[in-house]
Amino acid sequence: MAKNKVIIVDDDEFMRDSLLEALVRPDLQVTGFGDAAAALDAAADGSASLLLTDMRMPGMDGMRLLEEAKRLDPKLPVIMMTAFATVETAVRAMKRGAFDYIMKPFKAEEIEVAVNRALEHRRLLAENEYLKDELDKKFRAADFIGKSQAMRAVFGQIRQAAPSSATVFIRGESGTGKELVARSIHAQSPRRAKPLVKVNCAALSAGVLESELFGHEKGAFTGADRRRIGRFEMADGGTIFLDEVSETDLNLQGKLLRVLQEKEFERVGSSETISADVRILASSNRDLEKSVAAGEFRQDLFYRLNVISVELPPLRERKSDIPDLARHFLERFRREEGAAARDISAEALELLAGHDWPGNVRELANVMERLVVLGRDEIIGAAQVENALPKGAGRLIAAPAAGAGELFRPRPLDEVERDFVLAALAYFGGARAKTAEALDISERSLRDRLKRWQEAGTASPAGEA
């Protein structure tokens, strides 16, 4: 077992020897010094786990030693000891980084408790740092799989963007991994110790989204029975990820622009201005330039969001990455499910590479999970893959909901639109996100149409799953 190196500094030889005796135990290597300069030399290599020092000493006193020791090792816990305690000196020591402050004379049990607390604090700091490093490695090594030139370019953009506080706009089709880019940027940024808060802008109505982002006061609207802290406040000091930011309405876009420019906002129902230091990452699977040209998205907000742009390629444009991705997902789901599958055949990989993957990496992950969970063999073969892939891939709709003659008879345009949308929804198995993307409309627009038709009694609540 590695020993914790403890340094004791006291010009009183009797006190120094008493402390050395009190701290004799198998997990400690304790060294005593009569002056601060010698102790500082011993701590210079960064191997010390704890420093206990008297406050009043000739030459360099304890307060100066505290400052110098923290300069050498900011994480080193320092316990101050003194027989001349005052509130002012205690406060001053704590402000300068002292871990604890003990008054002389003290019992052996008191110093043992203080030492244990300080060493536990040091251990937790080291463990936390280790876990953060491991997390960073995980983001870099596992979340993104790809050796293609397109993905190498994405990795380079992430590395360049991460250290800054600049806003990043992440483009890409649904399922390409936009959230993974946001998580990776945050994990490699100076803000990684603070929260990464995600908001799906497409999933909420305008009023609910404003409250979600900025919070609200009690009584601000019907159902607001208590104050709610918004996502921007939660993310203070960290990062907020606005997923599908293109789906926010124009009024809310103006409020987002203010947060970007001024770093301040008000809760719904309040006039109190709140400041928040938040880095903004945003994404969209739509062409925002077209939305700007159509008057659906503010140009000034687009420019502020698009400071750094990261473009994720669809899986069909980086098919050379499919074998590595498939094996990555196979291993992940095999471990999670305790399944039999250990590998995938070359023929099966060839079939996967031949598919267009309209759902991108997310679709590939779903297919691999199905193959792993349902498979009984150690090697996933071509027959299993062929059965798992959708039939007739590449076509949007095999046939309209009504027959061809019915489709072209004179009737209201809304009925034609309804039949076409419901047919698309049925084709994608009720998946609203895929349906909306294929029809080039937002999920919110699709949801509103379905709700309108359902209330009118002209459509069942399809796609609720």
CATH for 345: 1.10.8.60
Residue 179 shares a structural domain with residue 295: yes
- Long-range contacts for 381-390 (Cβ within 8 Å, ≥24 apart)? 381/345, 381/347, 381/348, 382/345, 382/347, 382/348, 382/350, 382/351, 384/348, 385/344, 385/348, 385/351, 385/352, 386/351, 389/351, 389/352, 389/355
In a domain, 241, yes or no: yes
Maximum CA extent, the chain: 105
pLDDT at 169: 97
In a domain, 138, yes or no: no
Mean pLDDT along residues 318-336: 92
Question: Which of the four pLDDT bands, split at 50, 70 and 90, describes residue 459?
Answer: low
CA separation (Å) from 217 to 204, 214, 275, 277? Answer: 19, 10, 16, 21
Residue 293 shares a structural domain with residue 222: yes
Mean pLDDT along residues 385-389: 89
Above 90 in pLDDT, residue 133?
no
CA separation (Å) from 249 to 208, 212, 246, 274? Answer: 12, 14, 8, 22
- For the entire predicted model, the pTM comes to 0.58
CA separation (Å) from 447 to 92, 242, 336, 391, 413? Answer: 60, 20, 34, 27, 19
In a domain, 340, yes or no: yes
Per-residue pLDDT reduced to its tens digit, 211-221 = 999 999 888 88
Phi, psi values for residue 435, rounded to 5°: -65, -45
Above 60 in pLDDT, residue 394?
no
Q: Give the highest mean pLDDT range of 136-145, 167-176, 391-400.
A: 167-176
Average pLDDT value for the chain: 85
Q: Cα–Cα distance between 283 and 93 in angstroms, integer?
A: 47
In a domain, 137, yes or no: no
**Domain range spanning residue 366?**
315-388
> Parallel, antiparallel, or unpaired: how do β-strands 4-9 and 50-54 relate?
parallel
CA angle 139, 186, 444 (to 5 degrees): 100
Q: Cα–Cα distance between 361 and 195 in angstroms, integer?
A: 26
Mean pLDDT along residues 355-377: 90
Q: Cα–Cα distance between 389 and 315 in angstroms, integer?
A: 15
In a domain, 465, yes or no: no
Q: Cα–Cα distance between 54 and 80 in angstroms, integer?
A: 6
Lowest mean pLDDT among 87-96, 285-294, 304-313: 87-96
Q: Cα–Cα distance between 201 and 458 in angstroms, integer?
A: 28
pLDDT at 126: 74
Lowest mean pLDDT among 96-100, 124-128, 326-330: 124-128
Residue 227 shares a structural domain with residue 300: yes
pLDDT at 284: 93
In a domain, 39, yes or no: yes
pLDDT at 460: 55
Mean pLDDT along residues 434-455: 80
- Label residue 272 left, alpha or beta by phi (over 0 means left) and psi (-120 to 50 means alpha): beta
Residue 116 shares a structural domain with residue 14: yes
Residue ending a domain, among 333, 354, 388, is 388
Domain count, the chain: 4
Nearest to 34 by CA among 54, 64, 63, 4: 54
Residue 107 shares a structural domain with residue 9: yes
Residue 163 shares a structural domain with residue 302: yes
**Residue 170's domain is classified under what CATH number?**
3.40.50.300
Lowest mean pLDDT among 41-45, 378-382, 455-459: 455-459
Lowest mean pLDDT among 135-144, 175-184, 233-242, 259-268: 135-144
Q: Cα–Cα distance between 104 and 46 in angstroms, integer?
A: 28
- Note the Cα 280 to chain centre separation in Å: 12
Phi, psi values for residue 282, rounded to 5°: -135, 155
Residue 268 shares a structural domain with residue 217: yes
User: Dihedral angle at the C-alpha atoms of 295, 446, 286, 401, nearest 10 degrees?
Assistant: -120
More confident residue, 46 or 357: 357
> Do 248 and 296 contact (CB within 8 A), yes or no?
no
Question: Which of the four pLDDT bands, split at 50, 70 and 90, describes residue 452?
Answer: confident
Residue ending a domain, among 127, 158, 173, is 127
In a domain, 464, yes or no: no
In a domain, 240, yes or no: yes
**Residue 36's domain is classified under what CATH number?**
3.40.50.2300
- Label residue 393 left, alpha or beta by phi (over 0 means left) and psi (-120 to 50 means alpha): beta
Q: Cα–Cα distance between 430 and 305 in angstroms, integer?
A: 32
Per-residue pLDDT reduced to its tens digit, 148-166 = 999 999 999 999 999 999 9
More confident residue, 85 or 5: 5
Nearest to 390 by CA among 361, 372, 367: 367
Residue 165 shares a structural domain with residue 304: yes
Mean pLDDT along residues 263-276: 90
Residue 298 shares a structural domain with residue 150: yes
Question: Which of the four pLDDT bands, split at 50, 70 and 90, describes residue 88?
Answer: confident
Residue 332 shares a structural domain with residue 376: yes
Mean pLDDT along residues 112-137: 75
Residue ending a domain, among 127, 155, 190, is 127
Residue 54 shares a structural domain with residue 148: no
**Residue 448's domain is classified under what CATH number?**
1.10.10.60
Residue 428 shares a structural domain with residue 364: no
